[in-house]
Amino acid sequence: MNIAKSALGLALASASARAFSPAASRAASRLARAAAAPGASFVGGGRSAGSMSSSATALRANVLKLTEPAKDLLPGVDVFIFDCDGVIWRGDSVIEGIPETLEKLRALGKKMYFVTNNSTKSRAGYKKKFDSLGLNVPAEEIFSSSFAAAAYLEQTKFKESGKKVYVVGEVGIQEELDLIGVPHFGGPQDGGKIPDMGPGCLVEHDEDVGAVVVGFDRNINYYKIQYAQLCINENPGCEFIATNTDAVTHLTDAQEWAGNGSMVGAIRGCTGREPTVVGKPSPLMIDYLCDKLGLDRGRICMVGDRLDTDILFGTDNGLKSLLVLSGVTTEEKLMSQENTITPDFYADSIVDFFADEKSKVEAAA
């Protein structure tokens, strides 16, 4: 895969120092962006003084439906960062029109990276998935939250501590930890374990565990929760790391399924500890990409289907952002008074990036 591990120390140094911006700062930055946005074809009405009377109204008034991508989007973007679930595919089915859209973007000279919060696969595992869906995506363009967890541990020199990692999650995390030589256990191997809870029984835990990494786990069970809480609560200095806190995910294209937020919530609930989150919207992966590849944040567009992860990843890290409605977020939710997160644009799917071409063809016909 040729992703240089030696670059991680410098590339990720700033990420641990600014894992999350305070909520108030986030809100202020979003309102500032809304106030500064140019007026043009805004859904919800023009930018009158009345529309700025409340933050919710201001945000709704500045959500721009992408109708002229050749003018409003493509010229100002050199790099697209795509989420995967709900943007490129749903479950194990590629979204209609995606292969052709990616080919057109490459023909325009656009760089692309695929950044997913799903930790069930390693980068190598995701390469296989792209291949199985007929998508020609080089391995170097793929980044997962399982990689982000390993990158964080390498950046913090966890290996030098001589400690182990207990994994609540699947093989993706384990494969990435193997690549950096960090000892680990748990994961799928603990999927069938049931603790004995008779009188006087207890779960013995390894006192050399220095970090618990919690990723999406289709075989989560009480044993894993108990083992994780023992390590976090009883091992001095043990870190609690979450690959992401997504509420729901796309296991199939038929419905939404409970996401890693449910696993993280179980561990948070019995430890009282907040995790270090390494996936979106944490800055770790964008810091890595920008520092390693020399990317200009001002010419990067984050494209995703989630407001609280993908779009925050863009707005909190100085990127353009575009929400697609092909995943978990509906137009109704985007425009609701409860929503305080605003993308620069929104579209039905990334196929709309070339809506101008389609319109011209239909007009000619």
The CA distance from 243 to 241, in Å, is 7
Q: Which of 63, 139, 147 lies closest to 322 in space, CA to CA?
A: 63
With beta carbons less than 8 A apart as the criterion, state whether 225 and 219 touch. Answer: no
**Residue count (the chain):** 365
With beta carbons less than 8 A apart as the criterion, state whether 80 and 303 touch. Answer: yes
- DSSP secondary structure, 227-247, as one string: HHHHHHHHSTT-EEEES---S
- Output the six-digit token pair for 172: 């993706």
Is 78 part of the annotated catalytic residue set?
Answer: yes
Q: Count of H helices and E strands in the chain?
A: 14, 17
Q: How many CB atoms lie within 10 A of CB 320?
A: 22
Catalytic-role residue among 72, 78, 178, 291: 78
With beta carbons less than 8 A apart as the criterion, state whether 48 and 56 touch. Answer: no
User: Which residues lie below 8 Å from residue 107, measured CB to CB, with a gap of 6+?
Assistant: none
User: Which residues lie below 8 Å from residue 102, measured CB to CB, with a gap of 6+?
Assistant: 112, 135, 136, 137
User: Which residues lie below 8 Å from residue 238, measured CB to CB, with a gap of 6+?
Assistant: 209, 210, 211, 212, 231, 232
For the annotated catalytic residues, the residue numbers are 78
